A and B are shown apart, each in its own frame.
Chain A
Amino acid sequence: MISSASVVLCFLAILALRFIYLWRQRHLTRLLPIWRDALSAGTVGELPTLTVARSDRWHFIKLWSQLHDSVRGEAREALKALARSLGMPKWALALAGKRRLKDRILGLGALGRLGEFKGIDRLEKLLAHPDTVLSLTAAQAYARLVPYEALPAILRTASQRDDWPSARLMDILREAGTEAASSPLLVAVSGAQDKSRKQLVPLLVGLKSSDCATMVRSLLKRENDAETLAATLPLATPDNLEFVREAAKHQAWFVRSKACQALGRIGSHEDLPLLTKLLGDPQWWVRYRATEALLNLPGIKTEDVQHLAETHSDRYARDMLHMWLDRMGETT
């Protein structure tokens, strides 16, 4: 009896869900072109009159967010003005206060995009929320609203939680701009523990900040944690060549591998003996990167590499050189 009732209930639930879904789709199909036209007009500064029913607000805000993220400059500002004229900040605020995750994510995201939200402290609290997506959405909104205040708090939180993917943090930092992000990032890196430092250092690489030279030098000179050192090596400049050469002799293979890559970028002809030695490294990846670096060294000709490929005493080094020569031959 219970089983039959459950089956019937499920059947009815499916039919009800489908009915609601189809009704909503039909409703949105009718509304979306109207909204799109209005929003498009909004991007060129017009303020069309538009009434959005309470039950449609979620979909309207989502469409607005999509358009907001795909335009830049004046069009974006015009979209914000249109949203304000419609009273969207209130709708977004209401969504941000709801229980359901998807409402909160959309609401918080929209508040950040709109650039107006009086409850900044609420956003700061949300940085510590256990849900990764919600906390990151709050971080993004916070950084959009007050980047100079937000970034130190965001980076402080980032160094305490390992569920924030670097990719999302990078998006937040890039959007805030190198000028706003550089300084708090350097502070965060210098104050971070080993575990979080190795997660923050790659952000310096992604941010391409010119202010980090001193920090990089210091990390390359004194860093004990192999993973952080490996993460710092892509930032090395010719001024740090001595440390990079030292790193190429590090006991951790991934540091040697990164050092080879750095030598390929900033090394000189003087590094030929070091790289030739690394061609015979026990680790495949070090041999691979050493060959790659060797081919990028200034003044190195293909004939030199061919000669090395014939004469190197290590069989694995010869194999690797041949492999790279083959690749070069085919891709050039």
Chain B
Amino acid sequence: MNTAVYASEWFFLSYFVLMILCYLALDLLSLSGLRAYMDRQSMDDLPMFFSGFEPPVSVLVPAYNEASTIATSLRSLLQLHYPEYEIIVVNDGSKDDTLEVLKREFDLVPCTVAWCIQIGSKPVRGVYMSRKHENLRVVDKENGGKADSLNAGIDHSLYPLFCAVDADSILQRDSLRRVVRPFMEDPLCVAAGGTVRIANGCEVRSGFLTRVGLPTHMLPLLQIVEYLRAFLFGRLGWDPLNGLLIISGAFGLFKRSAVVAAGGYRTDTIGEDMEIVVRLQRKLREARTPFRIHFLPDPICWTDAPEDLKTLANQRTRWQRGLCESLAFNKRLLFSQGGGAAGWLAFPFMLLFEGLGPVVELVGLTFMIAAGITGLVSLKVMFAFLFVAFAAGLFLSVTALLLEEMSFHLYLRPRHLATLLAAALIENLGYRQLSVWWRIKGMLAWAFRREQKWVVSPRNADWQKPDA
């Protein structure tokens, strides 16, 4: 019995130490990457002119029951500062009057389409063009989910790059210009993603963010720290290794031909945004095609975070399920020949710490507490373990804040900083454990193949309302 307890103790301890070391390594990579990135962008605010060499971009906006917000979102997209782009809204069989709103607000008329089906999707009921904005088209199709809508959007897009955008996201006016840059600077670039930030508490006017603030609700506040951690070192760290396995579905730019060649978005997964990136990594590496997937740390997309536990639980369950599906569908990438950093580092990291992490964390904590209470380990050991777990979590959150402080300084007021530091502390006392539980539910949902749906979360975003 004692040997088993001893072995378990060592297993959990080793796991936590390994996890912390890996995150620390990512942290260090992000630190140097961020500093170099900020240096390179230091002249960005000098007057800039478009050279005429910017590749045209198709912005794809899948919409399902977005009647109350779609018009405002599109108006802001129509004001993006970029020389040539088209917007393709894909109405995925909405049950509300999304299509009617679009028709009314943008003066849509049906148009004939010469089909260029390269991926395929659920049947398209009609294609409309706007008489007000010649770069706006709407594809009305039968309900098939977000991935299916994106595939329909790709099939209807004209340009070599497409940008997948969530209908409830807020982009900065120069977002496209920024995210296109890796494609202009690196001919091998097939995809690029930017940082997503939380818009709750910020001031938004005419679809653009005008003042950065912090939410008054606790949940979105805790998510701000989480997002900083996920983006500023979770993704930035993988960029120099070309090991990025996820680009947020809220804002990502892709080379159309690469996605078409990979077969488009999978419609049988709930995490289509991650799956497509993992598949691109796998297929391009299998084909020995040189490529790069880039991450930009600039905050270029703002999104609405859930403010109630139920919606948040739902979101995290879906994310975890998406992660499991993406890894499972592309398991051939793991330790594959030619798998590079993606197959040998990023994939095992995702599997071990993001995929299985919640289980080990829950079992580890439960085991140590149970062992402490029943006297299998001393209370001193139990508390030491819990303290290390807490301190490690806190350390990772605080380093994310440190990266933010070294770079963008978006949260300018001293009060903001104090609130975020407090949130980093509180996050590890209950919220993190709750998140572990939701992620385990996501794993179970994946393991037992529960039915999946495109869930429309309740909107908190007051800015999106037409009268705001």
Contact = CB atoms under 8 A, between A and B. Distances in A.
Interface stretch (B311-319, B354-362, B386-394): B386-394
A106 B186 contact: no
B46 A65 contact: yes
B112 A323 contact: yes
Contacts, number: 118
A3 B417 contact: no
Nearest to B158: A288
A133 interface: yes
A: contact size bracket: 35 or more
A22 B405 CA distance: 11
Contacts of B51: 166-168, 170-171, 174, 206
Nearest to B183: A165
B402 A165 contact: no
A331 B112 contact: no
B53 A170 contact: yes
A133 B36 CA distance: 11
A73 B402 CA distance: 44
Interface string A9-50: 011011001100110000000000000000000000000000
A287 interface: yes
Interface stretch (A82-90, A97-105, A142-150): A97-105
Nearest to A65: B46
Contacts of A264: none
Contact of B402 (A10, A69, A105): A10
Interface in A138-196: 162-163, 165-168, 170-171, 174
Contacts of B40: 101-102, 105, 131, 133
A171 B43 CA distance: 15
B112 A326 contact: yes
Interface in B386-425: 387-388, 391-392, 394-395, 398-399, 401-402, 405-406, 409, 414, 417, 421
A316 B116 CA distance: 10
Contact of B184 (A4, A101, A167): A167
A3 B53 contact: no
Contacts of A330: 109, 111, 129, 131
Interface string A306-332: 000000000010011011011100110
Given A3-B392, A101-B39, A101-B40, A17 B402 contact: yes
B134 interface: yes
Interface in B89-133: 109, 111-116, 129, 131
Contact of B111 (A3, A18, A316, A326): A326
A263 B36 CA distance: 46
A224 interface: no
Contacts of A4: 391
B114 A320 contact: yes
A3 B113 contact: no
Contact of B42 (A102, A131, A167): A102
Given A11-B398, A165-B184, A323 B113 contact: yes
B398 A14 contact: yes
A267 interface: no
B131 to A, nearest CB: 6
Contacts of B111: 323, 326-327, 330
B185 A102 contact: no
A70 interface: yes
B402 A13 contact: yes
B430 interface: no
B: contact size bracket: 35 or more
Contact of B391 (A3, A62, A65): A3
A62 B45 CA distance: 9
Nearest to A10: B398
Interface in A259-306: 284, 287-288
A100 B394 contact: no
A65 B392 CA distance: 45
B399 A10 contact: yes
Interface in A197-216: 202, 206
A11 B116 CA distance: 55
A53 B174 CA distance: 34
Nearest to B52: A206
Nearest to B55: A167
A171 B46 CA distance: 14
A60 to B, nearest CB: 14
A115 B39 CA distance: 24
B114 A316 contact: yes
Contacts of A168: 51
Given A162-B187, A165-B184, A322 B398 contact: no
Contacts of A288: 114, 158
B47 A66 contact: yes
A319 B398 contact: no
Contact of A206 (B47, B53, B421): B53
Interface of A: 3-4, 6-7, 10-11, 13-14, 17-18, 21-22, 62, 65-66, 69-70, 100-102, 105-106, 109, 131-133, 137, 162-163, 165-168, 170-171, 174, 202, 206, 284, 287-288, 316, 319-320, 322-323, 325-327, 330-331
Interface of B: 36, 38-40, 42-43, 45-47, 49, 51-54, 109, 111-116, 129, 131, 134, 158, 184-187, 387-388, 391-392, 394-395, 398-399, 401-402, 405-406, 409, 414, 417, 421
10 contacts: A10-B399, A65-B43, A102-B42, A109-B43, A167-B184, A170-B51, A174-B51, A206-B53, A319-B113, A330-B109
